[in-house]
A and B are shown apart, each in its own frame.
Chain A
Amino acid sequence: MVLKKMAVVMASAGLLAAGLAACGSSPTTTSTQSSAPFVEALSQNPDNLTPAMGTLAVDNMPLELMNASLAYLNLHDKWTGEIATSWSESSNGLTYTFNLNPKATWSDGKPLTSADVVYTWHYMTNPKIQITYNTGWNYVKNVVAEGPHKVVFTLTQPYAPFMATVGSSYIVPKHIFDKWTPSQINHGIYTKSTPVVAGPYVLKSWQQDQSLTFVPNPHWFGSPVHIQKMILQIVPNTDTQFNMLSTGKLSLGTIPSSDVTQASSLSSKYTIEKTLQATYNLIQLDENHFLKDVKVRQALDYATPKQQIVTDIMHGLAIVAHGDQVPGGYFYDPNVPHRTFSLTKAAAILKADGFTKGAGGWLYKNGQELTVPIWTGSTSHSEMDIAQVVSQDWEKIGVYAPVHTAGWSIVFGNGTPQNPGPQVNGKDEALIFSWGQGVFPDDTIDFNSKYVPKSPFQPSPQENGERYVNAQMDQLQAQGVTLSSRPARRKVYDQIQKLEQKTLPVIFLFWYKNETAVSKNLHGYQQTVFGTTPVWDWSMQ
């Protein structure tokens, strides 16, 4: 899961174009098929296009183009059928029954049936296959086909985010994967030939580190697409990406916050859309020594100039965050109190807590210096700027806070027993990165005591790198995923947010707003915090 965290980090660092959560409901009536290709830049070569096996945010767009799931969340936060035509949930929340579209077909012409859905369950839960993301599938007890077009999922316990996890997983073709051993699948055999898919587009070519080209899937059973060629070009340098926008080469592109000052130069060729992203930026405080003390954490929260970071470093492309629920969303609690920037308050808290100024002007308690090194990724200019500003304010109140940058895999990695990574070295550390758990509102993997790394080198999901342990939180989170009534869940998440504010070793900095340049030639494209219009609504002129 650490890699997944990285992926999100990169997404929000503005390195990659808006991830497409496929969406939308109203098929357009346009019939003219335009011939201009759609071009978008990806910041990295996708690492793996076998469903559920990739670790990078850049995998999202190509996967969206090629794949289909039982259902998807549309632009208006509503679940809409894709492979399934209808579904029902049992009153006890333990069974989900899906009716599949009888016209559903794989890109090689073979029918897509309930057998494929059952196979997908085996695939997602096969320990020999290196699946990197199968959240929710652990609650699935079994999947049974009732005839070719009907599938029944039975769960081990009621699980509220079922649709957001299992229901929106991509279905994989049984007749193709059956031929391969897990080892062949792990080594990327699926993408070596033309992958057999169920989505609107098929992969025509993949020039490594250069571009991916997609053409319409002739057997696509959904609304017909208008764009005859989709090109994803891989451009590692954000500045180069921006330059490509300037020359009008891209149909769609995210503007990095550091380039916002020059975004107006694009206005002749692009419309600029600002959208709130379901991604936040945070400082994770690893509870090891002084950071176990809630007073110290609160003092650091007071000493962090969030509003200034939003205005001057993010150039307004963000809003200050007070918790981990999307502002304005259903589960967001606007009444959670928050700490406004005040160095005097911060200093007073630390003084009352027994810290006194000592050698070097730093704070000491029991003869030990209060040191909180700040870590962030070396590829993200804005996060490096944030780290420097935060360090400066923390040092003003006497907290020694040197800035370290490194590749994300080093920042989140274990390192060696001699030279362990910052998350596992047993010292006080602060990590600045962006994160979106993907499945809102459930934040179990982030703050549940089950997800505290047990030993530095234990290979297990260990998203709770801050080592936060709170029985009340564990209990609330368990309630949050099992309750089926939405208002009841909301009450639970209100409590969770209040508890977070009081005790969580996390300083929430801000929610990202994306500034997306949409080419004036691209029509039918819209985005909200939930995603974009589906690709079959898009056309190029």
Chain B
Amino acid sequence: MATINVPPMEEESQLQALPTTESSARRFWRRFSRHRLAIVGLAILLFLIFVSIFAPLLTPYSPTTANLTQVLLPPSPAHPLGTDELGQDVLARLMYGGRVSFLVGFSSMIISTTIGVVYGALSGYLGGVWDRLMMRFVDLVMSFPTIFLLLVVLNLTGSNASVGLMILYLGLFGWTGLARIVRSQVLSLKSQEYVEAARAQGSRTLRIVFKHVLPGAMAPVWVSAAFGVAGAMLSEASLDFLGFGLSPDIPSWGNMLDSAENYIVTHPIMILAPGLIITIAVVSINFIGDALRDALDPRSTTGMQRIG
């Protein structure tokens, strides 16, 4: 990266820390809620998560029980979105599919965020040779298109990845961008007085990083986490579509889209329903991410990383 001399921005430090006091929490909420779309997004997201968690109470159908006497039925009161090629209720699969998509999205985000934060913070704090080595490794990982790496690793597994493995892989290949951001945050923070003071008092390196430096660098982390969920959900769906995703009997939105492909003309609802739901879920999360960025880290260029 080129060396860039950006003039220090005074107002930034006020915004950076996540709200810890009453007044900054209120300020955060004021800035966040200015984005009406983010509020709508939050509401939709909570609704979708609620529906997928309570799916067993909301639908009488199992998402994985084939019923070949009820194949490809059009929408009706009994099946509001009809049935698929195995006679499974499309609405029920949509509800249960949310569980898989959200589980994959949130869990892999937690993994990638954890790695990204720890890695970036260590690299930035240690500095010198360590920093250079660690950043070279980031450069290396980022030199490969993420989807190629994911596909190669999934192909090595030999058969469909389980949900757990899918989460792990998406997490393992999604942290590099965040590591760079956190590192530069830490670099600019570690010369500040309170960190210097802690060092003078003889605190241990790790303690300084996690107690004093990281909290100040967390703003972009929250933003990146929000977009990370959305990106992982889209990635999982794309991998399902390419035949390298979850086992076909797992009701995920990606698998629904994949198997609906052949029915696009005769039963368009089979492809439109999961396609639109995943779009709406991702849009909602991106609305939130956008508002978070505005409220916490307005100058950053963090956004959702698509793999395809």
Enumerate chain A interface residues (CB-CB to B < 8 A).
Answer: 238-239, 242, 246, 256, 258-259, 261-262, 265, 305, 308, 311-313, 375, 378-379, 381, 384-385, 387-389, 391-392, 402-407, 410, 415, 419, 421
Contact = CB atoms under 8 A, between A and B. Distances in A.
A419 B65 contact: no
19 contacts: A239-B264, A242-B262, A246-B265, A261-B266, A262-B265, A305-B68, A312-B71, A384-B248, A385-B85, A385-B86, A387-B248, A402-B247, A403-B248, A405-B243, A406-B158, A407-B155, A410-B158, A415-B158, A421-B158
5 residue pairs, one from A and one from B, having the closest CB atoms: A258-B262, A378-B243, A312-B68, A404-B159, A406-B159
A375 B248 contact: no
Contact of A256 (B64, B72, B247, B262): B262
B66 interface: yes
Contacts, number: 83
Contact of A388 (B69, B72, B249): B249
Contacts of A392: 64-66
A220 to B, nearest CB: 39
B256 to A, nearest CB: 12
Contacts of B155: 407, 410
B72 to A, nearest CB: 7
A374 to B, nearest CB: 10
Interface in B228-255: 243-244, 247-249
Contact of A384 (B68, B244, B259): B259
A264 to B, nearest CB: 9
B68 A238 contact: no
A512 B112 CA distance: 47
B249 A403 contact: yes
Interface residues on B, range: 20 to 34
A379 B258 CA distance: 10
Contact of A262 (B86, B247, B266): B266
Contacts of B267: 261
B12 interface: no
Given A239-B264, A389-B86, A392-B66, A406 B160 contact: yes
B80 to A, nearest CB: 21
Name, among B248, B265, B266, the residue most crowded by chain A CB atoms within 10 Å (CB to CB).
Answer: B248
B248 A419 contact: no
A313 B264 CA distance: 17
Contacts of A385: 85-86, 248, 259
A311 B249 CA distance: 21
B242 to A, nearest CB: 9
B135 to A, nearest CB: 34
B262 A239 contact: yes
Given A258-B262, A261-B266, A388 B158 contact: no
Given A258-B85, A389-B68, A419-B158, A404 B261 contact: no
B263 interface: yes
Given A384-B248, A391-B249, A406-B158, A238 B66 contact: no
Given A385-B86, A389-B68, A258 B248 contact: no
Contacts of B258: 381
A262 B267 CA distance: 9
Contacts of B259: 381, 384-385
Contacts of A246: 265
Contact of B247 (A312, A405, A415): A405
Given A392-B66, A404-B247, A375 B159 contact: yes
B72 A261 contact: yes
A388 B66 contact: yes
Contact of B248 (A242, A256, A313, A388): A388
Contacts of A419: 158
Name, among A388, A389, A402, the residue most crowded by chain B CB atoms within 10 Å (CB to CB).
Answer: A388
A262 B264 CA distance: 9
B203 to A, nearest CB: 45
A258 B155 CA distance: 26
Given A239-B261, A384-B248, A392-B66, 20 more contacts: A238-B262, A239-B262, A242-B262, A246-B265, A261-B263, A313-B85, A378-B244, A381-B258, A384-B259, A388-B248, A391-B249, A402-B247, A403-B249, A404-B159, A404-B247, A405-B159, A405-B243, A406-B158, A406-B160, A410-B155
